[in-house]
Chain A
Amino acid sequence: MDHSSLLDAPVRVLLAEDDLDLRAVLRELLTQQSYEVLSAGSGSEMLAMLSAAARGALPRPDVILSDVNMPGLSGLDLLRAVRLAGWTTPVVLMTAFPEERVYARAHQHGAFALLEKPLAAARLLTVLSQALGRAAA
């Protein structure tokens, strides 16, 4: 695909979603689009993966895709932690409760986009491409 040939390396998506089935289908969809997917079942699991990436134990992600409503660390908490840790990686959030408060906090902490669930595949892929385009630019 365009982005992979452009960067001459597989594009890595770090995915956090607590629903097992949704995580499975997102992984399938993104893998089909030639993304390399690393997935986590919760916010804290993703934070652990990010610190592993910071130490070089894991490849650095090119984009982060996370659910907002998860048990324990929420997507918004995760976003803040990512920014505090100094990561500039674009973060795309997904939520089934698209409330004003969530939009405001997502914007405040520099999320690239907040997608509403149910997700449309085409919209998700477009937003991911845009996020990567901005990151590359």
Chain B
Amino acid sequence: MRIVGRFAWVFFVVATLCLLGSAYLSARRSAARVDAIEVADLQSLGGGLRAGFREIWAAKGEAAAIAFLDVARKDAPEGTFLAQWVPGPAQSPVRVEEAPGGRRASVALPLTTPTGVEGAIVLTRRLPDTRAILREELLAELGPAATLAVAGLLLVVVLGGLLIGGPLHRIAAQARRIGAGDLSQRLREDAPGELGELKRTLNTMCDQLVSARDQLEREETLRLETLQQLRHLDRLGTIGTIASGVAHELGTPLNVVMLWAHSLTHRELGPAQVRDAGAMIARQVDKMTAIVRQLLGFARRDGGARAPVALADVAHEAERLLGHLARKARCRVVVEVDGEGPVVRADRAQLVQVVTNLLVNALHAMPDGGAVVLRVGERREGEQRWASLEVADEGVGMPEAVAARVFEPFFTTKAAGKGTGLGLAVAKGIVDEHDGTLSVTSVEGEGTTFELRLPALDGTA
């Protein structure tokens, strides 16, 4: 409503000034008219006196004529005019002048006496005070002017409030709602003119915002789905890598079962031997079940909820998953844990995927065998406690230019068909989502160390 208030004040001041100006001009006009009437009176009066003066001069002489002028003056109401015979050259016919005691108007009527004397009858009269007239007129105008201005002010306040203040208030409220993210309301588009256009523009903007927001939501959903699929693909890729290891891991207990079955079917065994054989077979089946369960757990598509996870457990699980691949590559995997090891809040399956990716890379970096150390510990950076898991290999290392790009999607130094180039990008994505960091340091010919850092939780799992 402040805009209407300000507008009303401006209107009030301008209207008052206009009315006062108009009153002043009208008063000035009145004053001028009064002067003109006085002068005309003097002229008509002078005309009569001049005729009388000439006749009396002709009949009774100069003295009687001058006396006639005095008598005429005395007959007139007190102090209204002064009439004089002024012999001499012609004077200006009408003169208005300031004199001591007020303004005066003089009218000169030229006359030639019957005796041939040139002169003029001069009538002088005091004029009413212009300031007094102005004051009077202004006082008379002031009342109606003030009434008009106040009435106008009230009209502006009421109509302005109805026609501008209200709609503006609603528009402002709508703008605030939009700013706060509420796009459900629309303004009624009933107002004509600029306000109506403003409302229509605001409604159109609102519609566009809604459609843009929907589009954004659809794209975000799609992006998340794609990311999920990408991670699943990466996991399946890792499973392909570890498949031969798993085959061997399953192969041995399977072989034991098979050979026992052969013994049981081809030989007469004593009861004790049969019991031993049964127990042995049961143990192999347990082993195989554990392996299959681990693999299925790793391949599971949907990420589980976040929960406290001991980083050391993650390291051990990655080591178990890739143990055979490592042995086949003539590599040793060593897990070193500082004390009890830190605990983090994380999706365990995703963390296992990250560490597995790092471990597969480490094994691939050591074609001639060696040791990979999974080092689990805690780092402090000021107030921040970080849970750290390092994967350090003794492999070929990589040049700086390669190390700088390892987290880029589809960047790979492996032969075509050997790696997707997604493993480290996926790992980095998962770590970022956990508010952690994934970094790499590498020395060519000495080895590479990846370090995963996540915010450490208090206490242990």
Interface residues of A (CB under 8 A from B): 19, 21-22, 24-26, 28-29, 32, 69, 71, 96-97, 117-122
Contact = CB atoms under 8 A, between A and B. Distances in A.
Contact of A97 (B248, B256, B262): B248
B280 A118 contact: no
Contact of A21 (B248, B253, B267): B253
Contact of A96 (B248, B256, B263, B280): B248
Contacts of B253: 21
Contacts, number: 59
A22 B262 contact: no
B247 interface: yes
Given A28-B259, A69-B248, 5 more contacts: A26-B259, A96-B252, A117-B251, A119-B258, A121-B266
B256 A21 contact: yes
B236 interface: no
A41 B378 CA distance: 39
Report which residue of B244, B251, B284, B328 has the largest number of chain A beta carbons within 10 angstroms of its beta carbon: B251
Given A21-B253, A117-B252, A29 B258 contact: no
Interface in B241-256: 244, 247-248, 251-256
16 contacts: A21-B283, A22-B259, A25-B259, A28-B263, A29-B259, A32-B267, A69-B328, A96-B248, A97-B244, A97-B248, A117-B255, A118-B251, A121-B258, A121-B259, A121-B262, A121-B266
B255 A22 contact: yes
A71 B326 CA distance: 11
B328 A21 contact: no
A101 to B, nearest CB: 12
A21 B258 contact: no
- Size range of the interface on B? 20 to 34
Contacts of B267: 32
Contacts of A120: 258
B327 interface: yes
A121 B254 CA distance: 13
A31 to B, nearest CB: 10
B81 interface: no
Nearest to A74: B330
B57 interface: no
Interface string B253-279: 111101110110011000000000000
Contacts of B284: 21
Interface string B130-150: 000000000000000000000
B280 A25 contact: yes
A21 B263 contact: no
Contacts of A122: 262
B263 A19 contact: no
Q: Which 10 A-B pairs have the closest CB atoms?
A: A121-B262, A118-B255, A96-B248, A25-B259, A21-B256, A96-B251, A25-B256, A19-B252, A117-B251, A118-B251
A96 B327 contact: no
Contacts of B251: 96, 117-118
Report which residue of A25, A29, A32, A122 has the largest number of chain B beta carbons within 10 angstroms of its beta carbon: A25
A1 to B, nearest CB: 13
Contact of A29 (B252, B263, B283, B327): B263
Nearest to A96: B248
Contacts of B256: 19, 21-22, 24-25
Contacts of A28: 259-260, 263
Contacts of B283: 21
B247 A96 contact: yes
A119 B255 contact: yes
B328 A97 contact: yes
Nearest to B330: A74
Interface in B262-318: 262-263, 266-267, 280, 283-284
Given A97-B248, A117-B251, A24 B280 contact: yes
Contacts of B244: 97
A71 B327 contact: yes
Given A69-B328, A96-B248, A97-B248, A25 B263 contact: yes
A105 to B, nearest CB: 14
A78 to B, nearest CB: 15
A21 B254 CA distance: 11
A120 B252 CA distance: 12
A65 to B, nearest CB: 13
A26 B255 CA distance: 10
A28 B258 CA distance: 13
Nearest to B248: A96
A52 B413 CA distance: 49
Contacts of A118: 251, 254-255, 258
Contacts of A24: 256, 280
Contacts of A26: 259
Nearest to A70: B327
Contacts of B248: 69, 96-97, 117
Nearest to B254: A118
Nearest to B265: A121
B265 to A, nearest CB: 10
Nearest to A118: B255
B280 A29 contact: no
A22 B252 contact: yes
A22 B254 CA distance: 10
A91 B76 CA distance: 168
A118 B253 CA distance: 9
